[in-house]
Structure 1
């Protein structure tokens, strides 16, 4: 029997993505894998059932897709009570947000689900093409700047008119990961004067390579900036934070747009912009907080809302990638394909995922009724 992959309609409020775009379905078909998609699953991303059917995808109701699938792909973690009829041993692969709700992992384990969270992939060369965080953050960084530009009370590029010249707007990006780098590039393309900062001094050259100004306090002996595993940013020491905050405070007061992107895996987003700093900004300026879902980098941010403080608009972006659902879904599906294809035995047409493979070990949350990931196993013990 061919391996069967199922794709369900995402039920999370405001989620427009789908874990399988029609174009990606053809890639799976060439491997000899059958695809079934819940009817209407792709509509919010711009893909109707006919687009899937044209690629040989089976369209079925939710119950049928769940009960007949060996693997279910998911952009967001499906609620356990929305998986009625799932077979023990079924794999759920995708964006499972394991830190957000540890009890959900226990429920997956109880149902015998093998949950694999691709956001836990290490930042290594082998995993780059599978990295859902990077592909989705890239789009989120782009959207953050475009959204800020639509809310700003002035234009971004310098303009020369018969009535006189208009100076370019200033944009400041805080946090230079994938989202931050794309935000820098997008703001530059739109004509803004761009600057950026990050906890990692080594990204200075990346900032400058995009034509932006690097805003850094020098690291001193004893600062002890903690680096997180897997290539992610760690936490800044209190001494460094104090000096960097003073430097940023003077800089932020001159900015028209601020985009914040700083996240620490498994912890609340670090606070980067205080209410006092917001008060120094020009009225009509815009802040976009890409970390709002994890508590926010900006004081006073509200997830999914636009609030005004001291005449400054603060946008708590709920999911920038989801707002570009067609492209986000295509990239997400390719990430999932690349992950599965890496373990596909083309000769026997079977999926072989050794439990001791570094990538499999890094992403597997639950297996055979237990929480097996070292970071989350204590949930089961508790």
Structure 2
């Protein structure tokens, strides 16, 4: 029996995930449009999805809320059994999707594309819709919350005398504060120099000598730079100008290796990116590394065609060898709290930027 298995961990409770699996308007947001038909069947408009040939006529055969949903599907004569299993976890729940072929055939390429379609929907669009649904539920239930979610309200009473007393005390406190600030400012203001008794208040003229040398006025002597300060500044300048060690440069990419980035799909809180690594050289490339810089708060939910490791906003992808004149493609799903983010901030292969990479707006 040929099967397709996909699984995703979700930070949402099982009942919310159950709604996303059973309410047609929610299913249409993360998978495809659904229409109820006669006889208790559902019509899934999957003809345009990768790995699907036609619309699917689905019948619910088992339903245990909120843990199990099983459908018997007919896709233009190909019959399958599609099972959704929800298992609670400490973080939320785990959703497993299995489709088993009961009648007909699946070409290997079509099966791979179908499995990728499920994986993208589960790791990209479904979490975004669950986040959106969570926000909607919180907003709709705002008036149902208890008193702990609201500001305390005190009963109104006639306390006019007490209010007048408090007002007088407040005015007195403010006046004292203003007076204290004024005294402080007055104390720190510079005072004008007072003339010495018996001295001539008229300033002396600047003396000149026959050599043409000019002496600074008496009041400017204090502005003369101190030798110790000048020496310290010179030492500081020399220490800054001292050459430092040259940092180790990143290794250059393998000769002839380039990369191209494309955003293949978007959603409310994230997107799916695709990178094609091209080897334009004459020899196979065994090792290559693509570094993608996400916007702040962005995380990779999954990748296909490459291994990946995330450290902060930086995600490093590595993958199988690329033959001479060939290419290697991988895709990755990004969750981003900013709905405007539809592409990473940067993409490089070695130290060369990827073609087509655009910064997040």
Q: TM-score, normalised by structure 2?
A: 0.24
Greater relative contact order structure (CA < 8 Å, 6+ sep): 1
Give 1 or 2: higher helix fraction: 1
Q: TM-score, normalised by structure 1?
A: 0.23
Give 1 or 2: higher strand fraction: 2
Q: Which has the larger radius of gyration?
A: 2
